[in-house]
Amino acid sequence: MNFNCTLFYMKVLVADKVSPKGVEYLRNQPGLNVVEAYCSSPEEILSLVKDVHAIVVRSETKITAEVIAAAPLLKAVGRAGVGVDNVDVEAATNRGVIVMNTPSGNTIATAELTFTHILCGARPVPQAAESMRAGKWDRKAFSGIELFRKTLGVVGLGRIGGEVAKRAQAFGMRVVAYDPYLAPSRAKAMQVEGMSMDELLAQSDYITVHMPMTETTHHMIDEAALAKCKKGVRLFNCARGGIIKEAALIEGLKSGQVAAVGLDVYESEPLAEDSELRSLPGVSLTPHLGASTVEAQESVGIEVAEQIADVLKGGVIRNAVNMPSLDEATLKIVGPYLDLGEKLGTLVQQMGPEQIDSLNITYWGKIVDLDTNSVTRAIQRGFLRKISGDSVNYVNAPISLKRLGVKSQVVKSTDDVDYTDLISVEAVAADGSVHGAKGTLVGKTGKPRIVEINNLEVEVEAQGKLLALENHDEPGMIGFVGMLMAKDGVNIANMSLSRQMPGQTALMVINLDSEPSAAARDEIKSHPAIKLAKFVQL
């Protein structure tokens, strides 16, 4: 991408400590002025960014909307790591600032740390070592168990979960996995038994989680989940704090339902000094060391440095979480389609089943004459957004889908349609059922619009919060939903209605100003005429 900047005036702020080799790489690039400012306060950061073109961070420095507004020359933010929680991606996108991460550099480091915790959960090495330092020789107190022939439950079989599974198999463990988006064929190829979450909880001796933090994964292992586990289960989390509910872990350890715990991440970091987790027996704690190996830090440090240098020199954009690899001229033309495509992908994923066999994309109209590769990747990224979280971007979305065992099919059609441009996204399940949506651009500014859901025509703004309902076509349904939303304090911004034929299936799609309560959603689903009810966040 060419930013029409004079290279000799480009300044890179390295706000957090990254690998010296990464910093050295940046310093060796002609025309880049590198400023290292570690441990700077928020006020100091605001002052430092006034004339910077790029910022490199890890997890310590917060790149807020205020920071972005204070940096008029800012072109890119590079995160040496996976998560971009400390970067306001929306504010960056609105300003046209590229946000990049390094999603693969810490895979082995995190997998190895996870397995270290698993080993310590079987053999209390940390506790025994502490006892030895105290001058004791207490062999009976630190008896352990073997991993051999035990069952390890892996929750989330992505890059890191897959690496942990390999190591467990080498120890002779039976590996089972829950990943709602993983195709059975992929699990079989990895020699892993795919199963439901309840089955995994009931069968596992050890459980390790490797999911992104989303609305659905927050506290996914809580008191109710632990009650379904074997007595004496051992749990490990080196992914994201909050996936396992800490209060439930504490009570489980006290009751004996949980025999051992290994944590590297916490609901609030740093972990409170008075947390009971620090004092309970059978607990192994590390201070968020997942990526803290020489090799991992060197890898992500060099990777983020190369990415920053490429962007500032007008080269390829890699691992961008908020835009694909496009030059400026192309982005102006394709940009609106990227937004539409990502929202179609997100919509179909939330409307369809958790597990699919293929994702089919079809283009009609003027867009057929464009290079649609970036739009396809935007659709794939949108589809994966609530599945893979921060780790998915325009670069790795196709690989991430393939890793889940999902096939992709793209067709450019020359058939006549009623729109100047039209994009169709269909998720095909193993039983052959299809869940899909179509969208187009409207107006001079090219606003994304949903024009069809599950073969029923609609007219819906592709933004914000949507409530999509399929119901038996009968009188009173609009009134029922309207009254229920009013009772729940949820304002209806817009509504689109469609049906096949009178008395058959009808579709109601509502733009909402706020999210309905769980009670309101349950009441909708309990109505005998409702066939499908989905709350969708675009």
List where CATH 3.30.70.260 sits in the chain: 464-538
Percent of all residues in the chain with a pLDDT value above 90, rounded to a whole number: 74
List where CATH 3.40.50.720 sits in the chain: 1-103+293-322, 107-285
Task: Return the SS3 of 219.
Answer: coil
Contact (Cβ atoms closer than 8 angstroms) between residue 87 and residue 55: no
Q: Has 288 been annotated as catalytic?
A: yes
Task: Report the pLDDT averaged over residues 135-150.
Answer: 95
Note every long-range contact of 449-453, with CB atoms under 8 Å and residues 24 or more positions apart, other chains counting: 450/343, 450/344, 450/347, 450/509, 451/419, 451/422, 452/424, 453/347, 453/351, 453/507, 453/509
Instruction: Name the catalytic one among 219, 288, 472, 527.
Output: 288
Asked if pLDDT for residue 417 goes beyond 70, the answer is yes
3 — pLDDT class (breaks 50, 70, 90): very low
DSSP per residue over 485-528, as a string? Answer: HHHTT--EEEEEEEESSTTSEEEEEEEESSPPPHHHHHHHHHST
Q: What mean pLDDT is reported for the chain?
A: 91
Q: Has 159 been annotated as catalytic?
A: no
pLDDT score for 90: 80
At the second CATH level, the architecture of 324-462 is 2-Layer Sandwich (3.30)
Give the model confidence (pLDDT) of 277-291 as tens digits. Answer: 999 999 999 999 998
Contact (Cβ atoms closer than 8 angstroms) between residue 250 and residue 277: yes
Asked if pLDDT for residue 162 goes beyond 80, the answer is yes
Of the candidates 366, 369, 379, the one whose C-alpha atom is nearest the C-alpha of residue 462 is 379
Distance from the first to the final alpha carbon of the chain: 28
Asked if pLDDT for residue 375 goes beyond 70, the answer is yes
Structure tokens given for 173 = 């463990």
4 — pLDDT class (breaks 50, 70, 90): very low
Task: Report the pLDDT averaged over residues 91-118.
Answer: 89
**Residues pairing with 39 in the sheet:** none
pLDDT score for 391: 66
Asked if pLDDT for residue 226 goes beyond 50, the answer is yes
Q: Residue 23 — left, alpha, or beta (φ > 0 → left; ψ -120 to 50 → alpha)? A: alpha
328 — pLDDT class (breaks 50, 70, 90): low
At the second CATH level, the architecture of 464-538 is 2-Layer Sandwich (3.30)
Residue that wins the pLDDT comparison between 331 and 221: 221
pLDDT score for 232: 97
Residue that wins the pLDDT comparison between 71 and 314: 71
Distance CA 160, CA 34 (A): 33
Written as one letter, the residue type at 176 is V
Pick the CATH number of 1-103+293-322 from 3.40.1160.10, 3.40.50.720, 3.40.50.150, 3.40.50.2030: 3.40.50.720
212 — pLDDT class (breaks 50, 70, 90): confident
Give the model confidence (pLDDT) of 435-477 as tens digits. Answer: 999 999 998 878 999 999 999 999 999 989 999 999 999 999 9
Query: Is this structure's pTM higher than 0.75?
Result: no
2 — pLDDT class (breaks 50, 70, 90): very low
List where CATH 3.30.1330.90 sits in the chain: 324-462
Asked if pLDDT for residue 175 goes beyond 90, the answer is yes
Instruction: Name the catalytic one among 186, 240, 377, 403.
Output: 240
Instruction: Name the catalytic one among 130, 269, 354, 474.
Output: 269
Q: Has 117 been annotated as catalytic?
A: no
Asked if pLDDT for residue 250 goes beyond 80, the answer is yes
pLDDT score for 275: 96
Give the model confidence (pLDDT) of 11-70 as tens digits. Answer: 999 999 999 999 999 999 999 999 999 999 999 999 999 999 999 999 899 999 999 999
Percent of all residues in the chain with a pLDDT value above 70, rounded to a whole number: 96
Give the model confidence (pLDDT) of 106-121 as tens digits. Answer: 899 999 999 999 999 9
Phi, psi (rounded to 5 degrees) for 428: -105, 120
Give the model confidence (pLDDT) of 341-374 as tens digits. Answer: 999 999 999 998 888 999 999 999 999 988 888 8
Question: Where does residue 169 rank: exposed (0-12), middle (13-18), buried (19+ CB within 10 A)?
Answer: middle
At the second CATH level, the architecture of 107-285 is 3-Layer(aba) Sandwich (3.40)
